Amino acid sequence: MLIEQFFDAGLGHASYLVADPDAGVAFLVDPDRQIDAYLAAASRLGVLVTDSFETHVHNDYVSGSRALAELRPITVHAGTAAVLEYPHAAQGDGDVVVVGELAVRCLATPGHTPEHVAYLVTDRRRADDPQYLFSGGALLVGQIARVDLLGPELEDQLARSAYDTLRDKVLPLADYVAVFPTHGGGSACAAEVAGSRWTTLGFERRHNDVARAAGRDYREFRAAIAAGLPVAPAYYPHVRAMNARGAGLADRRSLPFLPDPRQPGTVMVDPRPPHLFGAGHRRGALNVVANDSFAVRVGATVAFATPLVILTVDAEQAERLRAQLALIGYDDVRGYASPDPEDGVALRIEQLDPRTAAARASGGALLVDVREASEWRAGHAPGAIHIPYELVRDRVSELAPGRPIVTYCAGGVRSSLAASILEASGREVANLRGGFAAWRGAGLPVAQDG
């Protein structure tokens, strides 16, 4: 048995190709939309993908199971409670699917979502004992996946389900069972996840605070799973609905270069670093830096289904960023265009060093901390206002009109996005270069209230 993990650092998403090379077959667990990567790996191993197993209807990325089924005669598997509108095999608790000499047993593990299942895999050439758990969000490295994504009306029910799942289904498994979760570091489907991308039941039973809390009183468990959760990106409910319908292949036609990107209803996304964006950019452009988190940050700040234009003259970069956007269902990318305005009139956002930012605050500017709540609680600039970058557009009215604003985050990237949102709303704004790390490094005061 061979296991190949595919990890998207920006989404914190892990998917798996599990192969029986002797039998020449393989299956996937929670594949995303970039199906060429799985097919290439299967070809390299000399195996045929026959099945795809979904642990749940995902919020954070677009599943590739239906798209693959459009190309190949595979069977898509999901739990019996999963409401999917495309052909699939519904697996009940305890059902076993055999792929070559690999036995895949479905475990009903509600909690992260009501329909959630995990898959316990046995390599029958070695033993009849199960050896691997593809846990989805039922157990992560140092955490479990959050239970609040489907709204407050289901949250308490799902929290209780997660508690029972751990106690009755997951933690009783043998110490040696290797655990391969779907959500890893960087995923907004959980609080902070440890850096390792796989683990064992024995290690998690001993070192996972949430797993340990499941062995105690429910109220203690409930408090543990509520701690440190990031803001859930606004695109999540739309992607869950898209996955329930079943997403097809992403558009593979080349993006056109647009001489004029200014189209009604279209959002222009400038992926340059903050210092280049700040030195000169188009009016109304959003500064979403082209790093691993590009798609998530677009999804957190731009309404789902909004037409997009990517501001770059690099056609390859534009295609890479479109591929990232396709993973969260942002399929309406109209093309790419120069970040420089045709009339030469560029807007600028100052990039301030920490002492200048502090002086501006002393002179009446508002310091706006756009980090997550857990980062804020660990320390922030005295007198700063905390608004996570995902919420800036909705909460701009909370910032006193007429006063200049200085945004900051951990390193200056998220705050540059927030600054571009505030600028588009008509506010005078600057960005703290280097973020809170630079603030601390300059020896400026740090508060830990709130």
- Mean pLDDT on 32-61: 97
Model confidence, pTM: 0.95
Indicate which residue of 117, 162, 409, 418 is catalytic.
409
Q: How many CB atoms lie within 10 A of CB 276?
A: 15
| pLDDT bracket for residue 225 (50, 70, 90) | very high
| pLDDT bracket for residue 182 (50, 70, 90) | very high
What residue segments make up the domains of the chain, in order of their start?
2-239, 252-337, 351-441
Q: How many CB atoms lie within 10 A of CB 167?
A: 15
Out of 3.40.50.300, 3.20.20.30, 3.60.15.10, 1.20.1740.10, select the CATH number for domain 2-239: 3.60.15.10
Q: Which CATH class is domain 252-337?
A: alpha beta
Residues 6+ apart with CB under 8 A from 318: 255, 310, 312, 335, 336
- Mean pLDDT on 135-151: 97
CB 335 within 8 A of CB 307: no
Q: Please say if the pLDDT value at position 232 is more than 90.
A: yes
Higher-scoring residue by pLDDT: 195, 316 = 316
- Mean pLDDT on 28-49: 97
Alpha-carbon gap, residue 52 to 32, rounded angstroms: 11
| pLDDT bracket for residue 450 (50, 70, 90) | low
Angle CA 420–267–327, to nearest 5: 100
Instruction: For residue range 339-383, list pLDDT tens digits in order.
Output: 999 888 999 999 999 999 999 999 999 999 999 999 999 999 999
- 2 - beta bridge partners? 19
Angle CA 18–19–20, to nearest 5: 140
Q: Please say if the pLDDT value at position 26 is more than 90.
A: yes
Q: Please say if the pLDDT value at position 449 is more than 80.
A: no
Instruction: For residue range 375-427, list pLDDT tens digits in order.
Output: 999 999 999 999 999 999 999 999 999 999 999 999 999 999 999 999 999 99
Alpha-carbon gap, residue 222 to 218, rounded angstroms: 6
- Mean pLDDT on 216-245: 95
Q: How many residues does the chain have?
A: 450
Two domains, one topology: 252-337 and 351-441: yes
Instruction: For residue range 112-131, list pLDDT tens digits in order.
Output: 999 999 999 999 999 999 99
Q: Please say if the pLDDT value at position 227 is more than 80.
A: yes
- Mean pLDDT on 26-45: 97
Bridge-based pairing of strands 96-99 and 102-108 is: antiparallel
Please give the structure tokens belonging to residue 206: 């001993």
The average confidence (pLDDT) of the chain is 96
Does residue 409 have an active-site annotation?
A: yes
Bridge-based pairing of strands 267-270 and 308-311 is: parallel
pLDDT given at position 188: 92
Specify the CATH superfamily of domain 351-441. Answer: Rhodanese-like domain (3.40.250.10)
pLDDT given at position 195: 81
Please give the structure tokens belonging to residue 216: 């105690």
